[in-house]
Amino acid sequence: MNKSEIYIGTSVDWGELNATLNRSVSRLNQKLTKTLRTVAMQKGIKKTEQGQRLDLYSVSQEELNTLMKNETVRPLVKVDSQKLNEGLQKVNASYPSRMDYDTSKKYHKDLNEVLTSSLDVIGTDTNKRTKPTKQTWKNPYKVGDWVDTSNQYSYHATGISKAMQKMRKEHDELRILSDAARVYRVTDKSYWIEVPVLKEEPSGVSNWKWAAARFDNLIIAKGCNSEYFHDHDWTIPYEGNEDAMEFIKCKMPIRVSEFESKYPKTTEHQGYRSEYTERD
């Protein structure tokens, strides 16, 4: 950093600044810029303005005077390079290269004082900040509803898929989780589910013949009679088989998205469901 330099902080695009001054403007190194951004934030200039980062550029005093009259390129802060250089050299010369905790704490405090005194706010932060949009959609579920949990294996888990992944991690003894779950608690914005488990086979079942031999009211929606074992969709209804099932609660709340409020995951499969379809 040259002692005669003035550094200005602006969120305008580098190319636009070059066009305004009719020359290629050099930037301050990013490590020091990052530290000075923090100082600018402490003085009221936010780190980003409408999504644009505050960067520092080298200009002359004459160019600074020109830019202060420009409505497009608005300098927000100014750094006195000579004051900054002298202050940093003085602080660094006052401390050893190795410091204990208390000395290091005082060293960083002195550094911050130099940085703060070297940076002046010369513009107005016009960043528009809006409050988060309030949720206007309603929770479509009520206690006792059954929801579809099939195909919830997304890598970027959100909502019900995140809750199901949490269930699998917390209950690794459950090899096969039901593809239907029951809502046991609701609020205006969220709901909680509980997964049915067969008492006789708590680890889970995917064999429809096993289920058909034990439950008279087994509902077969697809497959099962085909030659493909892994092409099926069947449900053991909870109604009429209450004594054969118990529920494991997922304590993680599932936030209702706007999409889910319009297209709820309610299902007609109200019980222990096993579903798998071979894809073409």
Bridge partners of 233, per DSSP, are 222, 275
pLDDT of residue 93: 94
* Least confident span in 124-128, 199-203, 222-226: 222-226
Mean pLDDT, rounded, for 257-270: 90
Lowest mean pLDDT among 4-13, 120-129, 196-205: 120-129
Decide: pTM greater than 0.85. Answer: no
- Residue 229 pLDDT exceeds 50: yes
Q: Which phi and psi (to 5°) does residue 206 adopt?
A: -125, 0
What backbone torsions phi and psi does residue 36 show, to the nearest 5 degrees? Answer: -70, -25
Confidence of residue 87 (pLDDT cuts 50, 70, 90): very high
> What's the confidence (pLDDT) of residue 117?
93
Buried b (16+ CB within 10 A) or exposed e, 15-42: eebeebbeeebeebeeebbeebbebbee
Spatial CB neighbours of 72, under 8 Å, sequence gap ≥ 6: 12, 16, 20
Q: What is the mean pLDDT of the chain?
A: 85
Q: Give residue 275's pLDDT.
A: 80
Take residue 106 and report the two structure tokens written for it. Answer: 């005082």
Lowest mean pLDDT among 15-29, 63-77, 217-231: 217-231
* pLDDT, average across residues 61-78: 88
Domain ranges of the chain: 6-121, 146-276
- pLDDT: which is higher, 182 or 72: 182
Decide which of 108 and 176 is more confident.
108
Q: Are 9 and 79 in contact (CB under 8 A)?
A: yes
- Rounded distance, CA 219 to CA 212, Å? 9
- Where residue 233 falls (left for φ over 0; alpha for ψ -120 to 50; beta otherwise) is beta
Which backbone phi and psi does 175 adopt, to 5 degrees? -70, -40
pLDDT (average), residues 159-177: 84
Q: CA 109, CA 102: separation in Å to the nearest integer?
A: 11
Q: For residues 24-40, give the mean pLDDT.
A: 90
Give residue for tokens 């932060």.
125
- Backbone torsions φ then ψ of 154, nearest 5 degrees: -60, 140
